[in-house]
Chain A
């Protein structure tokens, strides 16, 4: 539990909390971006360089921008006027709090019940980009191709959605 981990984890949690509680949707997305960068920092701390940088490249560089575009085009970014805050102890708080407590309890039980094996340092596989590339090309070639087909389908769908209506007369 180094200081670096604590700081980055605090930033991530703060970003996620802000993303849930801010009123302006664009601010929420930016807070979410902060928490995604926090995740990338955690990946880097664990030594997964490829995943960490790809997290920034994909999430911050593409997904966050996609999210802001979506919000911008579909709703006004002004916080809704005159919306009163929910009452302090409404039923939705109770339900949400109960579900969160249950999940936390289950996770804590899972982690704590395996405490003994966690103390021995697991032989960390030396994952370099070379090995990831090798694995993608040899062992995981089929998932790679399937993901490629999926992305192609998404791209074609996006192009069809964005294409202007064209009449048959040219």
Chain B
């Protein structure tokens, strides 16, 4: 078993299985064989992530996570799954029954559709669309509609408020998300995810050509991750679903399996945007050093995905929740200008000759606005003053 065989084992298995199916059925079976692993692996990853998150957050907060079910608590998702399946499905009497039923379905469907263009390994992408990145963002915009449907159909004040906030947040952060990915499209000259990854899979001596190792790529990656955190309503941007603020936001009125579907959709969206970040900036399935290419490509993809998930959990355990106006201010006053300047920097990088000067100029082009913008956001480093009350003393 050469490393190449292990790397391509799933592709080889699929072709072997296809050779045994009759010709008229082959397109259907081929599609099914490509899609079935995604449908199996990512919900499993979702289950693992829920328990990892609870244990990780617990350790960060000086406590154990769940540790009763199974070895060290790792069978907790099974217990959670049984619980959500057997809970009574309560739909409010005045709720819009049809839309109430459709909303979680649309959310999960949109989240699953996004995986169609992510290259999980070498030659392992469900469909190599010419406009793959555009497809990803198009599908991601359906999530906002599903969120709104969920909040509206519940006919409840809290859920409507949560839905409005969630949609406003998702729309505002979609702009930096897309703009941050445009730099990669500019640099690679193609919208196809496979082409983007193939461009990053080369090495000079041992260093890879990942886009994150350039100034504009690094800033773009950070901005993309912040926008991805906001897009999937994850802490510190989880005001729409804040558990202590608005109870549960737009999915208050959902119980049982539909609630679990919302969680599934949210986490799947998180994995999908992380997967896109890995594809665009972190080199997809390529190994970090040229002497590590013997490790299969899908192992690298999932290792990077797990690393990003751990970063998500880490950030969740660290930062307090942003208020709505702080959130919007961050999106429009900080991230939008930074992404636009990032595009300019990427253009400058492209047209300057390679060398140290290029690095210096691009880093300065990015660091100076960052300092100025952050001064604007934090009100110029003004120390918090002692609060005085006009009437209370």
Chain A interface residues (CB < 8 Å from chain B)? 24, 26-27, 30, 33, 40, 49-50, 53-54, 56-57, 60-62, 64-65, 68-69, 72, 77, 128-130
Contact = CB atoms under 8 A, between A and B. Distances in A.
Interface size class, chain B: 20 to 34
A65 B98 contact: no
A129 B167 contact: no
Contacts, number: 63
Dominant secondary structure at the B interface: helix
Contacts of B95: none
B53 interface: no
A30 B100 CA distance: 13
B174 A129 contact: no
Interface string B165-197: 001000100100000000000000101000000
A105 B78 CA distance: 62
Q: Which of B130, B145, B171 has the most CB of A within 10 A?
A: B145
B300 interface: no
Interface of B: 96, 98-99, 129-131, 134-135, 137-142, 144-145, 148-149, 152, 164, 167, 171, 174, 189, 191
Q: Tell me if A's interface is mostly helix, strand, loop or mixed.
A: helix
Nearest to B139: A56
A24 B141 contact: no
A60 B99 contact: no
B134 A65 contact: no
Contacts of A129: 130-131, 134, 191
Contacts of B96: 24, 26-27
A132 B243 CA distance: 46
Contacts of B171: 62, 65
A72 B164 CA distance: 11
Given A24-B96, A65-B144, A65-B167, A57 B134 contact: yes
